[in-house]
Structure 1
Amino acid sequence: MTDFVKLLTRKNSLRKQCQTLSSADIEKAIADLTEILEEKQAQEEELLAVERERAEKIEAIKQSMQEAGIGLDDLMVLVDAPVKKKVAPKYQITDESGEVHQWSGRGRTPAVFQAAFAKGKTKEDFLI
């Protein structure tokens, strides 16, 4: 707590500091503090109204979900699901055992493609 805040929140300290002030100066300080208080109360009321509105919206969503037979677990599946888009393969190679390998050309080069490149082949040789 700053010294100023301590001064304002302790009546005896405030009284001591106000001894040299005139009544008009004290009235001005009170008027300023009252204005600041009203602004602060208005801000707090606005925050409470926003929170109330948010809570009402959440309750309406919960009600809609219940009416639709949707549970929170149904939504959590969507949240946990990966959002990655699968990229279509661009290259294809058949290895010596007859197994087909496909690669999009992105990310780490699969070993079967690396082996073919080591033998002098290029990516263009395996375009789909």
Structure 2
Amino acid sequence: MGLLEELAGNKAKARAAAKELNVAQLENLIAGFNSALEKVKEEESVRLAAEAEKARQAEEIAKIIEKSGLTLDEIAALSAPRTTTKGRSVQPKYRIVVEGETHEWTGRGRTPKVFQEYFDAGNSRESCEI
């Protein structure tokens, strides 16, 4: 427990500690505590006002949901982020067989050597489309 918490919880200890200070020091300490008290009260009122605003907004949203006839599950499903293809594998678009080995390529990115050699030999991309 900190010293301030101990003094705040026990008036006798606070009075005993105050006896060690002169009047100017006590007045300065009291002014500091009053300033801190005002700041804490102000922060608390801002927090309570924010909570009240959130409660008002939640009530407003609940009314809109009720009017719409949708359930929360339906709203969650409809507002879920769309899945992207990033990180997913893409089906191959081209396939060739060279010396008994099958090579596949999606058509994206740099052309693999085996496909480039195939194209350089006069073959077209359409000839190896899947």
> TM bucket by the smaller chain?
0.5 to 0.7
Answer yes or no: is 1:42 the counterpart of 2:45. no
Which residue, out of 103, 123, 127, partners 1:121?
Answer: 103
- 1:105 aligned partner: none
Q: Is 1:21–2:21 an aligned residue pair? A: yes
Deviation for aligned residue 1:90: 5.6
Q: Among the aligned pairs, what percent are the same residue?
A: 25
1:85 maps to a residue whose letter is T
> TM-score under structure 2 normalisation?
0.64
Q: Structure 1 pair 28/82, CA: closer, same or farther in 2 (3 Å)?
A: closer
Superposition deviation, residue 64 in structure 1: 0.9
Which amino acid in structure 2 is aligned with residue 74 of structure 1?
E
1:49-68 mapped onto 2 (5 Å cutoff): 49-68=49-68
Moved more, 19-28 or 30-39: 19-28
- Three-state SS of the structure 1 residue aligned to 2:84 is coil
Q: Indicate conservation of the 8 Å contact 2:65/2:71, yes or no.
A: yes
Q: Distance in 2 between matches of 1:2 and 1:11?
A: 15
Moved more, 25-34 or 58-67: 25-34
Deviation by residue 1:50-108 (Cα, 9 ceiling, x = unmatched): 111011111101101111212212123236x5732247956247xxxxxxxxxxxxxxx
5+ residue gaps, structure 1, are: 94-112
Q: In the alignment, residue 23 of structure 2 is paired with which amino acid?
A: S
CA distance in 1, matches of 2:56, 2:81: 31
Unaligned runs of 5+ in 2: 106-114, 116-124
Q: Which residue of 2 aligns with 1:84?
A: 83
> How many residues are treated as equivalent by the alignment?
106
Highest CA radius of gyration, 1 or 2? Answer: 2
CA RMSD in angstroms comes to: 3.1
Report the TM-score when normalising by structure 1: 0.64
Distance 1:14 1:122, change over 3 A: same
Change (3 A) 1:127 1:48: farther
Superposition misfits of 4+ residues, deviation over 6 angstroms: none
Query: What corresponds to 2:31 in structure 1?
Result: 31
Q: Which amino acid aligns with 2:84?
A: K
Deviations 1:19-59 (A, max 9, x none): 12223322221111011100100001001101110111111
The alpha-carbon deviation at position 9 of structure 1 amounts to 3.1
Q: Which residue of 1 aligns with 2:109?
A: none
